[in-house]
Structure 1
């Protein structure tokens, strides 16, 4: 069985042209047997030709030993067997040579031509020798049997090895084809496994990025507002107790909601489920309800047994934009919200992304331009929804200015969210010294 490619080089363990040592041993054994046969037949050949016996035997041994080359030069072996057929030599060489020739990768026309030559040579020699034996009295049969003997002998010597060689060669090529196909499938499976591993690694990276982005969006805004309210609480604690109580209540509510959102996010990481939407942020507490703020610190009553909490949406939506803006206003920011076009529903991904863009932009204003006038614009268009958050130049820093840390990933996260839905995101400073964030999302995204 032959092999191809890298396995062919690895399979060659025999000397010279043999692939395996057992092949070399087999060919050498056949060569010795053929040399012995031709050497014995060389005695009769020397007697018929009138030459010394030693010459006839030596000629037979030399010609018979050519069978050792059957794998290397099968054509030469068959031609030698045809050439020594008139000397009544090389029956074993002819049979093995024809088998090797038919099983080789040579074209069929060459195999057919050489098999025809061997058949014709054997037929002619058998016919002539039979006539000579009948003339000498060595064979007594009817003359009508001479063609039958010649044809049957030539076919018996030629047809079986050729047919067997063709069958073995076809089977060998089929096995090689199946082996190559199996190797190809194995390589393809290996490539698919590598690609699957790459896709899994890419998916893990994307999931880590998404989780980091969601954690940033969920926590940064509320924590920033908590810091602002805490600073205001510290500033007015003695001057305006009512306002201090209001700010303390807001800080508590925002902290509880931030913890709730974090707990839900961590629950998703453990269970692999889609995170439910956190409870909506509390509206700013009016001054008239300052007396009720103290009650917020008291332990909350547990729901009655058997009661079921209402199902929450999967994420924030544009309907909560007013509450988001009110939270920033309660923190002391001058925010103007304007909505253009007819309000309508969008896919959950679109509404959440639009909400997060506005949320992150307001958070950046709290961090980098506290006290600056801010404009939030939302436009409902035929095939898209556009949003823009623009703030003016920040006022000069006062004694109560709050410095908030920044990780530098807010704008990157907003751009990733928008571009993932096929939208356009633009951000940068304005000519007036402020900063502007604009995003346009296709209305059909996420559906």
Structure 2
């Protein structure tokens, strides 16, 4: 009989919890600290008119929390030295009261540069104070509780999911061990920085993914543009001359009455060789003009529309979709073009109208794929983002993509202060002659 060793294997959930707690307490590392010279958010750039807005945002932020920490330490020290507490039994002395005020509050000043270390310091300080009999009748020092919640928020934003899970488990365990009577309320309060921090992290991650996706898209567009330029030059110069060689070789025997048969055969061979070369040249030009060239990797199409819409929603856009017709089986070139146009239009809405309502419509009828992306003005309190370096060619690229299929694309502002992009893409190229 086979021996059952399933009991020796650790349960996956226990492993995840154990690794999360270990990472939160000892081994975990937060994301690198943001640079001190980072620019001000768009909504706060008006502060430059007040003077301090001309300083780097990261530096001002750290100085603000440093000053606030000093003020809170002073207030907490005064509260702990209040006669009601200083006259109580077990009062450790003025120096110890100042030390307690410092250790429970100091993590506020560290959390921007070292969020995980600040939380560990806050957790240890709150544990020491919670296990001590002083101050009496006070399971939590208010300043320490505020610092702990702010550290939990920063850890949730700047650390991985495993570390955040470990921090949450230790924090919940701490409030229940410290004081069971106030634990339900403390647990509910602890959920606030966890939920808000998670939402902020998801939004930031989605924005980074969209920015990276857009950067790759712009790189691909640059390569395609260069290929098209080379293809046009080769067509205008080399292909033209090859065509002329073939035509002249074909016409030469008719210009002279008596042409030796051997010469006729040579001219026919020249013409055939020129036509073969021209055919090969056109094949090479087709590779240069294609986006993927010789790459056989699968290209995105409308079957990834849900993923594209999901990323846009996670970045803050309020996207509504309307799909009509059979969107399966669209030719790969048309599907790729439709996907890229929608991607560029949503990226423009995210950059120029953050938080706006966006209506996306995709329909297919009579072998024509119709696209529409209409966004409103930026949501209240949000300002358009700065232009990306090397940008400004998105609309041109969308029009060229549509034109390559014999379709048309329009892009114009709306009366409501938004922007509308529409395109019709025929599944069979129209005769543009």
Is the TM-score greater than 0.5? no
Work out which of the two has the higher radius of gyration on C-alpha atoms and give 1 or 2: 1
Q: Structure 2 length normalisation: TM-score?
A: 0.35
The higher relative CO (CA closer than 8 Å, separation ≥ 6) is in 2
Q: Structure 1 length normalisation: TM-score?
A: 0.34
